[in-house]
């Protein structure tokens, strides 16, 4: 019976994931530079972040799902390698998405639009699970990478909500309702920001 991965075994697996993430980051950086020098459009890339999920975080996620943390459990997670792209405006989210899917050798495995269909708590973001081919240890393997694309306003909400939910031992009972209200305000902000931009040609 397959046993729970050790930290060393997990690190060996994530080395492959990091290779895939670097390939995708290089593609994103090329797109960012292309947008930077273009004279016909605005650069939609306001920020790019990335991370490899820690061993502790991966095992906690397995435990939450009632899984022992075997290699097949980890491989079933598509967010071991994660990239977040921050935009200034909401319509830029979809510009970035469209540019990514046109890239050669990138396959879209899954797309979840939490902007058009926000989560009940107010969370908004566009999630893509993509696959890239990585030549690693003398063989070519397909590696999943999660990409989140969202505006600065969406990212601010998610950062504060995550901090209050996971870093606070005793969150306020009013917090869910308050975060839902803030999410609505920020959604209106994102919509009005586009109108202001277009009216003033920002």
- The stretch 21-46 carries a mean pLDDT of 90
- The answer to the question of residue 142 being in a domain is yes
**Beta-carbon count within 10 A of 127 CB:** 18
Q: Within a domain: residue 145?
A: yes
How many domains does the chain divide into?
Answer: 1
pLDDT above 70: residue 47: yes
Of the candidates 182, 113, 111, 175, the one whose C-alpha atom is nearest the C-alpha of residue 153 is 182
In a domain, 157, yes or no: no
Q: Write the CATH number for 98.
A: 3.30.460.10
**Mean of per-residue pLDDT scores for the chain:** 92
Tell me whether residue 78 is in a domain: yes
- Whether residue 21 is contained in a domain is answered as yes
Residue 106 in any domain: the answer is yes
What span, in angstroms and rounded, lies between the C-alpha atoms of 138 and 134?
10
Handedness of CA 102, 106, 109, 114 (dihedral sign): negative
pTM recorded for the entire structure: 0.91
Distance (Å, rounded) from C-alpha 71 to C-alpha 11? 11
Give yes or no for residue 118 having a pLDDT over 60.
yes
* Domain extent at residue 14: 7-152
Residue 171 has pLDDT above 80, yes or no: no
- Model confidence at 1, in pLDDT bands (50, 70, 90)? low
Average pLDDT over residues 81-103: 96
Is there a domain that residue 124 lies in? yes
- Pair of tokens at residue 168: 């606070």
Range in 79-83, 155-159, 172-176 with the lowest mean pLDDT: 172-176
Residue 56 covered by a domain: yes
């Amino acid at each position: 019976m397959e046993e729970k991965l050790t930290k060393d075994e997990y690190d060996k697996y994530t080395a492959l994931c990091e290779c895939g993430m670097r390939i995708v980051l290089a593609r994103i950086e090329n797109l960012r530079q292309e947008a930077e020098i273009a004279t016909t459009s605005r650069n939609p890339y306001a920020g790019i972040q990335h991370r490899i999920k820690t061993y502790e975080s991966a095992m906690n996620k397995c435990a939450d799902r009632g899984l022992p943390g075997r290699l097949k459990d980890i491989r079933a997670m598509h967010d071991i390698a994660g990239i977040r792209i921050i935009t200034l405006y909401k319509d830029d989210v979809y510009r970035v998405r469209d540019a990514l899917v046109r890239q050669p050798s990138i396959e879209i495995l899954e797309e979840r639009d939490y902007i058009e269909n926000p989560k009940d708590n107010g969370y908004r973001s566009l999630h893509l699970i993509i696959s890239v081919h990585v030549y690693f240890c003398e063989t070519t393997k397909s590696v999943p990478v999660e990409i989140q694309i969202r505006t600065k306003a969406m990212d601010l909400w998610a950062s504060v909500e995550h901090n209050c939910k996971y870093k606070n031992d005793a969150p306020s009972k009013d917090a869910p309702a308050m975060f839902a209200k803030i999410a609505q305000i920020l959604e209106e902000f994102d919509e009005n920001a586009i109108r202001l931009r277009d009216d003033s040609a920002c």
